Amino acid sequence: MKLKIAVLAGDGIGPEIMEQGVAVLSAVAEKFGHEVSYKEALCGAHAIDEVGDPFPEETYQACKEADAVLFASVGDPKFDNDPTAKVRPEQGLLAMRKRLGLYANIRPVETFDCLIHKSPLKDELVRGADFICIRELTGGMYFGQKQEGTDEAWDTNYYSRPEVERILRVAYQYARQRRRHVTVVDKANVLASSRLWRKVAQEVMLEYPDVQTDFMYVDNAAMRMIQDPRFFDVMVTENTFGDILTDEGSCITGSMGLLPSASTGESTPVFEPIHGSWPQGKGLNIANPLAQILSVAMLFEYFGLQAEGRLIRDAVSASLAANVRTPEIQVEGAPRYGTREVGQWIVDYIRKA
Ligand code: IPM
Ligand code: MN
């Protein structure tokens, strides 16, 4: 297969983990005889500094023309504590989602047995937890009308029926590949937008009688994820709730540095780690490259290249089992490995496989 990849490394640890993601992508492509070409493009704080725009037109074109985007992370502390900043790196990410029509964000929450002791939850609660959150990504409060005055401000949580319907269908399609259980998460006891979600879901569910559907208020879902994460198979929810719940999901597995994601929709799909740009870790060769590398696995799988994805997942599991780990998940007394060393170990594993 020929694959054109737009590479958006962004800010903070982004460029370092991206280097490893690209190395793994190339190693797998070589092994399986795929022809991959890369085009790097600017985004985030980096792009603001260079051209004054966190998602420049040139970057949009590079994404449009690619088969897939491999994205790392954006963000810079110099913007975080300045609510008056006119442009912010995060706007680049939101612009990318909107302009590429990436309405479905797929965030798997998977546990690795050898890292369960890192979870803040008890072993017996979290062992075997395996679910995915399908987060609506181009609607809701993130993109609804806003007003920002000196003494008053508001955001609008707007949703239309087609927006809700299409994301629900994505959830049902995933459920059919998994344990056939969808949980629709909303706040229908309070919010009008949530009542629309529930109404539409009650209709759409009839088309998927082979899938069990249940409804859960978001506050209850936040609790259930901690009490009994194994309850969930496919969770589907609106943009803001999905943002919050997926951070919660990522930490129950033991390391945020291990979770990849895919954003798909109308145009080129984007694959990215769910963690942020971790500016404090920049340039220190300590960032965990595994979420970026697993995002590459999701990229191959998106194109139906299951064996390629499998090989990456096996390599990642093998690296963990061999204690080739970055500092935040390192076993006491084991040798120290950095971002580059973990990436190189995985590339070597793939070449030898
Ligand atoms: C995420 C991030 C983004 C979001 C930020 C950086 C705009 O937190 O991808 O979850 O809120 O969607
Ligand atoms: Mn988030």
Residue ranges per structural domain of the chain? 1-102+266-353, 108-258
Q: Tell which atom from ligand 1 comes closest to the C-alpha of 94.
A: 7
pLDDT the model gives residue 113: 86
Residue indicated by tokens 């797998």: 28
Residue 105, pLDDT above cutoff 80: yes
Residue 84, pLDDT above cutoff 90: no
> Can you count the helices (H) and strands (E) in the chain?
13, 12
Distances (CA, A) of 10 to 19, 43, 321, 338: 12, 5, 30, 20
Q: Two tokens at 250?
A: 């990522």
Catalytic positions, written as ranges: 142, 187, 219, 243, 247
| Residue whose C-alpha is closest to residue 59's, from 283, 282, 270 | 270
Nearest CA to ligand 1 atom 12: 243
Phi-psi label, residue 334: left if phi above 0, alpha if psi -120 to 50, beta otherwise: beta
Ligand nearest to the CA of 143: 1
Instruction: Report the C-alpha gap between 1 and 170 in whole angstroms.
Output: 25
| Residue whose C-alpha is closest to residue 135's, from 256, 248, 257, 234 | 234
Fold of the CATH domain 108-258 = Isopropylmalate Dehydrogenase (3.40.718)
Pocket of ligand 1 (CB under 6 A): 90, 93, 243
| Residue whose C-alpha is closest to residue 234's, from 103, 133, 137 | 133
Ligand nearest to the CA of 247: 2
Query: Ligand 1 pocket test: which of 90, 96, 105, 270 has the largest number of ligand atoms within 8 Å of its C-beta?
Result: 90
Q: Tell which atom from ligand 1 comes closest to the C-alpha of 105.
A: 9
Angle between helices 306-321 and 290-302 (to 10 degrees): 160
Tell me which H or E stretch contains 29: helix 14-32
Nearest CA to ligand 1 atom 4: 243
Average pLDDT of the segment spanning 8-35: 98
CB 225 within 8 A of CB 252: yes
Instruction: Report the C-alpha gap between 105 and 201 in whole angstroms.
Output: 18
Question: Which range is most confident: 68-82, 173-187, 252-266?
Answer: 173-187
Instruction: Report the C-alpha gap between 9 and 154 in whole angstroms.
Output: 33
Nearest CA to ligand 1 atom 2: 243
CB atoms within 10 A of CB 130: 15
Average pLDDT of the segment spanning 171-184: 98
Q: How confident is the model at residue 82 (pLDDT cuts 50, 70, 90)?
A: confident
CB 133 within 8 A of CB 100: no
Ligand nearest to the CA of 90: 1
Query: Ligand 1 pocket test: which of 11, 243, 244, 246 has the largest number of ligand atoms within 8 Å of its C-beta?
Result: 243
The DSSP output letter for 188 is: T
Query: pTM value?
Result: 0.94
What is the CATH number assigned to the segment(s) 1-102+266-353? 3.40.718.10
Q: How confident is the model at residue 42 (pLDDT cuts 50, 70, 90)?
A: very high
Q: Ligand 2 center to residue 222 CA distance, Å?
A: 15
Average pLDDT of the segment spanning 146-165: 97
The pLDDT tens digits of the residues spanning 187-198 come to 999 999 999 999
CB atoms within 10 A of CB 123: 10
Average pLDDT of the segment spanning 28-34: 98
Q: How confident is the model at residue 81 (pLDDT cuts 50, 70, 90)?
A: confident
Instruction: Report the C-alpha gap between 220 and 79 in whole angstroms.
Output: 33
Q: Ligand 1 center to residue 49 CA distance, Å?
A: 21
Phi first, then psi, for residue 51 (nearest 5°) are -130, 5
Residues in Cβ contact with 166 at an 8 Å cutoff, skipping those fewer than 6 apart: 103, 104
Instruction: Report the C-alpha gap between 201 and 234 in whole angstroms.
Output: 14
Q: Ligand 1 center to residue 313 CA distance, Å?
A: 25
Residues in the chain: 353
Nearest CA to ligand 1 atom 6: 90
| CATH fold match for the domains 1-102+266-353 and 108-258 | yes
Q: Ligand 1 center to residue 207 CA distance, Å?
A: 32
The pLDDT tens digits of the residues spanning 106-123 come to 999 999 888 888 899 999
Q: Ligand 1 center to residue 243 CA distance, Å?
A: 7
Nearest CA to ligand 1 atom 7: 90
Residue 255, pLDDT above cutoff 80: no
CB 8 within 8 A of CB 331: no
